[in-house]
Structure 1
Amino acid sequence: MLKIVGVLIASITAVLAVSSTVGSHADYLATCNSTSICPNHEVFCSEGVCRCPPNKAPVMIRWDLHCRDIVQIKRISTIEDHPWVISNASCLSSKKAVAKSSCRHSPCYSGILVDPLRSADEGGKFLDNCTITEATSVGQFKSGTWTNNSVMHHLAGNKTDLGLAIFNEPTLSPHVRAAIHFESILVGNYRNQVALGIGFPKSFDQERVHELGDR
């Protein structure tokens, strides 16, 4: 239990640290006017602050801020797994007109993986027209195939752009490694064989995977 609590605290600290670094970067959101020039040549003055041009989002690469093309995620596959992903059954079964499948707006999903994803989307806007699907399990590989309607079944079959489920990189099986790009967005402890992250299908460009991880 203590190890799990430690990982959770480190994970939340890492997310806050990245957000703080981008938000306080001298080149980003600095006050400007129509006659001033923003320090970073990649940003421009808009509505009184230095920001990335439209259709581009801020990315921290080796502690330097860059404006890169927005990589749209159209489909997310996930599974309920407290506290990483929490699905609200009453919300999902409700007959009220709510955006249940919207990656950006659905009130039915929350958790340690969901909240930072939406926070990053506020600046990056990479969840336009994105839908979220809840799978039945993470999946097991048997007789050459993955469990039907599992997160791994969706990833391996290129039926999703992102597997929003926790993967532990040091313990990934060869079958999982063959099917996904692993991207660690949370702090782990390799001494204890812990490095938690999310999975992208192999069809997703690896450079874009790293960019999304940075965001």
Structure 2
Amino acid sequence: MLKIACILIASIAEALAVSSTVGLHADYLAACNSTSRCQKQGMYCWEGVCQCPPNKAPIMLRGELRCREIVQIKRISTIEDHPWVISNASCLSSEKAVAKSSCRHSPCYSGILVDLLRSADEDGKFLDNCTITKVSSVGRFKSGAWTNNSIMDHLAGNKTDLGLAIFNEPTLLPHVRAAIHFESIFVGNYENKTALGIAVPKSFDKERAYELGDRLHQVQESGRAGEIFDKYFLQDGLTVWKKEKQLTTFKPRRVVYWL
């Protein structure tokens, strides 16, 4: 079992707090009017408060709050790997009218990666009209091709916008690196050659990949990621984590993030 040090994550709540400043310079979410202007670049006064314009959302970048364009993720490919991604077979096979393939609303999927993505979506709103597809495996590279209907098959073939599965960046093989951008490190300890995160296809615009990574890092910095990890790895009593269904062996005591 890898031993990961417990690191306290600073909250960005103060950065997002409503400022009492009024007059010519108003902070994000502060009251404003037709005679005042918003201090933060790219923000404007709407419905009496300073906020981001439509199709943009606030995000912390290098300690500063900025408005960034919302990058929509339309397609997600995933594979069951407790506790990272958990699928509910009964839900997926049910005839009831549920949003089975909705990235944002489906009750059929849960787990650390799903919860992290949905938590980031609360701020960025990037899962509009997004569908999630469960595939057969992560995939193996043989005779110049990836296993059909696998995570890597979808990533390399530009059949998805996001591979929602755990990748360990220090151990990625050359043919994996040739097909993906490795983004959004969730937990890691380079002394143990561990840096776990998700992947987007090489065809996916780098700026869009960075924007998604920034939003997921914001979830980490706010402390919400630690709560999600605790929910699946550390909660008392019965747990939704089934060891026999976990493909990866990594088991942290708490989320780790490099500040």
Contact 2:18 2:30 in 1 (8 A): no
TM-score (norm 1): 0.87
Matches within 5 A, 1:64-79: 64-79=64-79
Query: Cα gap change, 1:213/1:18 in structure 2, threshold over 3 Å: closer, same or farther?
Result: farther
Which range moves more in the overlay, 61-70 or 133-142?
Answer: 61-70
Contact 2:77 2:134 in 1 (8 A): yes
List gaps (5 residues or longer) in structure 1. Answer: none
Matches within 5 A, 1:8-87: 17=10, 20=13, 23-24=16-17, 29-35=28-34, 36-87=36-87
Matches within 5 A, 1:1-215: 1=1, 3=3, 6=4, 17=10, 20=13, 23-24=16-17, 29-35=28-34, 36-215=36-215
Contact 1:32 1:38 in 2 (8 A): no
Which secondary structure state, in structure 2, belongs to the residue aligned with residue 188 of structure 1?
A: strand
Query: Cα gap change, 1:108/1:22 in structure 2, threshold over 3 Å: closer, same or farther?
Result: farther
Query: Cα gap change, 1:113/1:131 in structure 2, threshold over 3 Å: closer, same or farther?
Result: same
Contact 1:84 1:114 in 2 (8 A): yes
Contact 2:32 2:38 in 1 (8 A): no
List gaps (5 residues or longer) in structure 2. Answer: 20-25, 216-259
TM-score (norm 2): 0.73
Code of the residue aligned with 1:85 in structure 2: it is: V
Q: How many residues align?
A: 208
Please identify which structure carries the higher helix content.
Answer: 1
RMSD of aligned Cα (Å): 2.2
| Aligned-partner Cα distance in 2 for 1:127–1:19 | 23
Which range moves more in the overlay, 194-203 or 21-30?
Answer: 21-30
Q: Identity rate of aligned residues, in percent?
A: 72
Q: CA deviation at 1:30?
A: 3.0
Code of the residue aligned with 2:29 in structure 1: it is: A
Query: Cα gap change, 1:60/1:174 in structure 2, threshold over 3 Å: closer, same or farther?
Result: same
